[in-house]
Structure 1
Amino acid sequence: MPDENSAITAALRALRLRLPAGQVHDSGPGYDDGIALWNGAVQRRPGIVLSCSSTNDVVAGVRAAREFGLALSVRGRGHDYAGRALVDGGLTLDLRPLHGVRVYPEARIAEVGGGASANHLLAAADEHGLVAATGTIGAVGMAGLTLGGGYGPLAGRVGLAADNLLAAELVLADGSVLRTDSHHEPDLLWALRGGGGNFGVVTSMTVQLHAVPAVVTGMVLYPWKQAEQILGRVREAQQDCPDGLTIQVGAVGSPDGSPALLVLPTWSGDLATGTDPSGPVMALSRLGDPVFAELGAVPYAATVAGRDAMFPDGRHVTLRTRSVPGLSPDVIDVVDRFGGELPTPMSGISLHHFHGAAARVAPADTAFVLRRTHLMAETIAVWPTGDAGDKARHWADEASAALAPHAFSGGYANLLGPEATDQIPNIYGDNLPRLQRIKTAVDPDRVFSGTPLPLA
């Protein structure tokens, strides 16, 4: 069997015969750009980066990896903190050129390229007064977000990003191209709605759009000494929460570097209700004595894009996640403790609100199984470079361990790295056997492992 270097050399030669040389990189500026991820702590070096501008390019890449025995990875936008977009010594398919979006306003659907970000999709939809179910940050890739589930500010009204996936085109492990929707290969569509990047390379998706001309959102910052009190009041607000209101809350660094409690609401209902001083949104600015409060009506696309500055490329990141039933006194105690001990001002704890429409989907209807009202806790440790990483990682591990007794046994697949060995076996619950059967049918050699999938 040829060694890795000779396999890479042979694959490079074959790909350069089949594709323009400018798309096939093993060094130089194109290579450097292809391996520069959002998480600067990731130092993996693929043997080849293939820049894919068509489905045929993806087919060529998959077939070359199989022919020459190279490990394969898929890069959407590269926001996965665990760095699974890259594979040491293997072949990385860079889908970022596939970022086109085509909107069909009368049908309220969009065709979205496999390398498109939330910003790409929302900007195109906004031209027609429409929005899509996305995450909180605009630079995140839509395919990766959707395949793992896709928590976001509109989940209470329109469901997860995965719930809005209508169809997809995939390149399978044997290099064949398949389209799945509710009438063609429906089992595979079911698996893509939360089962992660485990079944093929999604080169395009069809997603549902929604008429939400504007949202009422912004942020309210409270001093950390009020955190326990405010979190208790957020719990009350979330327990009596209309579908149109999603309340994200968490610990962040304030402008002076000290911890602060962030309340981040998004209201997607009637604007008059959202801006009413006595309504449920504006009440969130009166839970205590805020140091900053700014809430108002804005286009959804603009507010999602505006949050990108909070998470710039290149910083070093590690992340842990637990899903908890709600802001119980025990959970509040953990958040109060670890939120008050942020290892760096860039670190934080974010509690993503899952309720309403997303919680009314039956657990067996999609691969995403956790369909009861809950909070997805994202404990994110961020540092620029250097020795701060050990302290940051320790803090994230300790916070995750403290939440574990109060959490569900699994977790959010998109945010679980390979170290989460206690959570990975329980991600998919009763849906796991069906996912395993589908995996065996379409990828028996286990070429794809975009997100954790326990295999029998």
Structure 2
Amino acid sequence: MTGRGYTEGVTVWNGAVRHRPAIVLTCTTTADVVLGVRTARDRGLPLTVRGRGHDWAGRALSDGGLTLDLRPLHEVRVDPGARTAEVGGGASANDVLAAAGEHGLVAATGTIGTVGMAGLTLGGGYGPLAGRTGLAADNLLAAEVVLADGSVVRTDARHDPDLLWALRGGGGNFGAVTSMTVRLHAIPSVVTGLVLYPWHQARQVLERVREAQHTAPADLTIQVGAIAAPDGSPALLVLPTWAGDTATGEDPSGPVQALTRLGAPLLAQLEAAPYAAAIAGRDAMFPDGRYVTIRTRSMPGLVNDVIDVVERFGGRLPTPLSGMTLHHFHGAAAEVATADTAFALRRPHLMAEILGIREAGEPGEPVDSWADAASGALAGSAFPGGYANLLGPEAADQLAGVHGDNLPRLQRIKAAVDPDGVFSATPLPMAAPEPTSGGAPASVEDQLGAGHGRGLG
């Protein structure tokens, strides 16, 4: 299939992705999604779902398959009284924040705004508000899902709660999410920005960030990483987000402004701003079309071995566009019990995002080798598995550990709603099939057995 619509449908954030589906179905209604799912099943075509196309591994597309393009389903409807938003399956984080911001509300999102809200949420959703609001997945209240047989279900705390549990961190492996209801939060403004330190101060600053993260209140989430300074030299980035009282965030003696005094900064720009503006303002750092490879590990914190790795690999970035960032997981996100959502790693930790980025035409091997080596160097300090939204097919040693003790329950739910593996988004090893008899039951909990499906435990 060719043409302008097709070209737009297969053009995704990572310019290195070259998958070419046979059909791109532009979905403007849930009925279109149902048609696409049934067509793919009838014709034996691989089926993929495209939200905003920001998955670096290109899983929104498959060669010779059928892609459901959900981008037209980007409407966001806010209920300010209930502090919730109904979010279309193709909406970006910017779409959600713009609509919520009209009512003085925000949603839990990732670090930039062009990412699809559904994909981010289904895989977990680390972000600058994690300490205050939890993960994006923790704020998922309900969803409309087209299942592998083409049926449409609405899942919430009372209806098919096992499916809702799976969607909170289990990825897009259970169906096509055409809309979600997400919780919103009253955070009029945040204090955020960046502090940049010269690389020769990296170890000192990281040791001090370690203490700051250890004592940080829930309102303060501190991202840290290695990037290229304007002159191309490596620099240590500290990116805090304060979601509490603005006066405290701006207080020179407070915990936010103290992050400008961890060394002698090259640059310190922290200010109060609407959260939506802060997130949208970072989009220019990650434009479409560059060639991207990502590796990820999750570690207990900035232990000495982790600092050694950041110092070693952050000091020799393979390109000026590449970098390494450590996402801060604490506060509200760490207070959720492991069994309460499919997202399993609930103890305080850092999630490393190792970004190898190059322009088209630049050699890929040095970037890939650097990313692989950095990931390997962190492995000894890391928990099993990793962040599902960032793990690519090369991370075979990590895939089995992604969901920890939650994997068996996820596999049972997968077998109930998609036994043939029609949907495959983020890593989820399939369980061996069990004998079945009779027709399809009406709900997920019916298929899982009486007494199991009514709780999130």
Q: TM-score, normalised by structure 2?
A: 0.94
- 1:372 is aligned to 347
User: 1:311-335 CA deviation, whole Å, 9 max, x = no partner?
Assistant: 0000000000000000001100000
Equivalent of residue 339 in structure 1, options 295, 311, 314: 314
Q: CA RMSD in A?
A: 0.5
Residue 239 of structure 1 pairs with residue 214 of structure 2: yes
- 1:356 is aligned to 331
Q: Spell out the pairing of 1:119-198 with structure 2 (5 A cutoff).
A: 119-198=94-173
- C-alpha separation in 1, matches of 2:298 and 2:430: 22
Find the residue that maps to 1:344 and give its secondary structure: coil
Residue 312 of structure 1 pairs with residue 287 of structure 2: yes
Shift of residue 94 of structure 1? 0.4
Residue 262 of structure 1 pairs with residue 264 of structure 2: no
- C-alpha separation in 1, matches of 2:233 and 2:98: 35
- C-alpha separation in 2, matches of 1:426 and 1:330: 22
Q: Spell out the pairing of 1:298-447 with structure 2 (5 A cutoff).
A: 298-447=273-422
Residue 220 of structure 1 pairs with residue 195 of structure 2: yes
Aligned AA (2:97): L
- C-alpha separation in 1, matches of 2:277 and 2:318: 30
Equivalent of residue 57 in structure 1, options 20, 32, 36: 32
Aligned AA (1:421): A
- 1:112 is aligned to 87
User: 1:32-62 CA deviation, whole Å, 9 max, x = no partner?
Assistant: 0000010000011000101101100000100
Find the residue that maps to 1:295 and give its secondary structure: strand
Hey, which of these two has a bigger chunk of helix by percent? 1
- C-alpha separation in 2, matches of 1:347 and 1:57: 39
- C-alpha separation in 1, matches of 2:201 and 2:27: 50
Shift of residue 29 of structure 1? 0.5
- 1:292 is aligned to 267
- 1:98 is aligned to 73
- 1:19 is aligned to none
Shift of residue 414 of structure 1? 0.3
- C-alpha separation in 1, matches of 2:272 and 2:87: 27
Shift of residue 142 of structure 1? 0.3
Give ranges in structure 1 of 5+ residues lacking alignment.
1-25
Aligned AA (1:379): I
Shift of residue 454 of structure 1? 1.1
- C-alpha separation in 2, matches of 1:351 and 1:295: 19
Shift of residue 385 of structure 1? 1.7
Find the residue that maps to 1:194 and give its secondary structure: coil
The percent of aligned pairs where both chains have the same amino acid is: 74
Give ranges in structure 2 of 5+ residues lacking alignment.
432-457
Shift of residue 387 of structure 1? 4.1
Aligned AA (1:134): T
Shift of residue 424 of structure 1? 0.5
**Count of aligned pairs between the two proteins:** 431
- 1:4 is aligned to none
- C-alpha separation in 2, matches of 1:453 and 1:381: 25
Shift of residue 419 of structure 1? 1.0
Find the residue that maps to 2:396 and give its secondary structure: coil
Equivalent of residue 47 in structure 1, options 14, 22, 41: 22
- 2:455 is aligned to none
Aligned AA (1:333): D
User: 1:376-433 CA deviation, whole Å, 9 max, x = no partner?
Assistant: 0000000002242110000000000000000001100000011111110001111000
Shift of residue 257 of structure 1? 1.1
Find the residue that maps to 1:313 and give its secondary structure: coil
- C-alpha separation in 1, matches of 2:362 and 2:190: 41
- C-alpha separation in 1, matches of 2:364 and 2:96: 34
